[in-house]
Structures are given as C-alpha cells and as structure tokens.
Amino acid sequence: MKSLKQLAFLILSLLFVLSCDDDDPTTISSDPVENAANKQPLGTSANELLSSDEFTSVRVEIAYPEGFRPTNNTINLLIPFLEERLNKPDGITLVESTITTNKEGPYDINDIVAIEDANRSVFNNGDEMGVWLFFSDESNPTDTDTSVVLGTAYRNTSMVIYEKTLMDISENTITPGNRTAIETGTIRHEFGHIFGLVNGGTPLTSDHQDEENGRHCDVEDCLMYFQTVTSIFNTSNTDSLPDFDTLCIQDLQANGGL
C-alpha cells in the first residue's frame, strides 16, 4: 500500500485522473443479442434516460463483491442527485446485489464487461429503464504511481467505480473520512457521461466542450471538468462537491432532463 507521504504528494499534485469514454465494449460484448438495449455505446440513451417520453422510471442496480459496498451516505445521496436531473414521474429506485467476480485483477474493460454480463439482473423493462453501477474489488490495469483511474462509464447504461482504489485513497488521504465525498463525486461525474455530457449523446446548446480532453466541460468549477474529481480530495463535506454548471444544465434540459 502506498505511504501517506506518497498519497499526499499525488493528491497535492492533482495527478489523479478519471477514465471516462476511451473504451467501447459494444464491440466485445459476449452477449450481443439478449438485453441489447442496455449494451449500446456510451451516451446513445441519454434522451431516454433524461426524458419521460419512453421511460417514466429508472431502476439502478448497485452491484459489489463482499467488502466493497459504498458507504450508506453515498447510496443515500444517489436518488436525490438523479431526481434533480431526470424527468421520471414514476420514480427512481435502487436495488443492491452482492456478487462474486471470479476473476483476478486488475480488471481491464473486457473483464468489466464480462462481470456485468455474468451478474447484471436489472435491464430495461416496459417503461422502466435499468442502469448498472458496479463497485469493483480490483483496480484498473492502467494505474501507475502517479495516476489512478477512479471510474469509467463504458456503455449507455453501465459504469464501473474502482472501489478498491477509492478505499485505498480514503484510508490514506490527507483529509481522513472523505470516502463518501470521493465516491459521490466520481459517481456523479460518470453519470454525467451516461447523461450524454459533454457533446457525447446530449447535443450542445452552447460552445463549452473541452475538445482536448474529450467529453468534458471547459468550465473549471463544473462537475464535468476533466480534473474536477481532484477538488474532492481535500474535503469530507459532500455539500461542497462540484455540480453541473449552467451550460451543462442547459444541455440536459434541452435533451429532456430537468
């Protein structure tokens, strides 16, 4: 495990990164037919998720191996965050699943897809949309001593949070007790990508895409700024976490959201 001194240096140097949309597992899915609506490219279901035109409710499956459940506060903060942006008059619900991964880490994108295909139980059903949120018991293989991946949104209704990495950071960070803030900030950022931000399924209503850094916002205090997650390492107060800026909110509202 990295020493406190090493982790403090990494945090202060702002070298932690998020991997968001580099992988397209729709080309490597082991199950291309069954539940195909939930195995599409990232951002393609943004309007369906944001609006009530086709789906009037959402069910989020929170899956994790034993010992890697997110904090109670993280789970409690998820529905209010989604309710603020998703137009779902029939509500948003959560279901938890304790799973067995049966794989050796670290997990590359093929491993993540295989774990989802073997364990996911919540899919689109009638007018209810299903979302898969996996808290991983292993890290990402691209992690180095100076950069770690915290989360990746990789399908239209799928994301992985590298919980093992978040737990290691939380245990050694210069601000003890901020695991909920780290988890919540990472989850919200990745949901932003599933919502189609920035210009990744939800069309731009103004010019605010940071094209150099892909599907991110060029407003530094926005949740979708490419380095926004670094701002959570020095706080344990979730009220101070970054939010979508006005330009991103306008994009979401124009695509059916609240």
Average pLDDT estimate for 229-249 = 79
- 146's torsion region: left (phi>0), alpha (psi -120 to 50) or beta? alpha
pLDDT at 231: 61
Distance separating alpha carbons of residues 126 and 54, to the nearest angstrom: 9
pLDDT at 229: 63
Higher pLDDT, 13 or 231: 231
Q: Are 143 and 165 in contact (CB under 8 A)?
A: yes
Q: Sheet with 151-155: list strands edge to edge.
A: 92-99, 57-65, 128-135, 158-161, 151-155
Higher pLDDT, 171 or 58: 58
What is the 8-class DSSP label of residue 25? G
| pLDDT tens digit sequence for 68-123 | 999 999 999 999 999 999 999 999 999 999 999 988 999 999 999 999 999 999 99
Binned at pLDDT 50, 70 and 90, residue 8 comes out as very low
Domains recognised in the chain with CATH numbers? 4-254 (3.40.390.10)
pLDDT at 230: 61
pLDDT at 169: 81
Select, from the ranges 17-26, 160-169, 176-185, the one with the highest average predicted confidence (pLDDT): 160-169
| pLDDT tens digit sequence for 174-228 | 555 588 988 999 999 999 999 999 999 999 999 999 999 989 999 999 999 988 7
- 3-state SS of the chain: helix, strand, coil percent to 5? 35, 15, 50
Express as a percent the part of the chain with pLDDT over 70. 82
pLDDT of 4 higher than 50: no
Binned at pLDDT 50, 70 and 90, residue 233 comes out as low
* Distances 98 to 56, 63, 70, 95, 121 between C-alpha atoms, Å: 27, 6, 12, 10, 11
What is the 8-class DSSP label of residue 98? E
Q: Vertex 181, ends 178 and 182: CA angle to 5°?
A: 85
Strands 128-135 and 57-65: parallel
Confidence (pTM): 0.90
* Distances 61 to 3, 121, 124, 245 between C-alpha atoms, Å: 34, 8, 12, 27
Distance separating alpha carbons of residues 224 and 250, to the nearest angstrom: 13
Select, from the ranges 11-20, 93-102, 164-173, 177-186, the one with the highest average predicted confidence (pLDDT): 93-102
Q: Are 170 and 179 in contact (CB under 8 A)?
A: yes
Average pLDDT estimate for 55-74 = 97
Q: How far is CA 183 from the centre of its chain?
A: 9
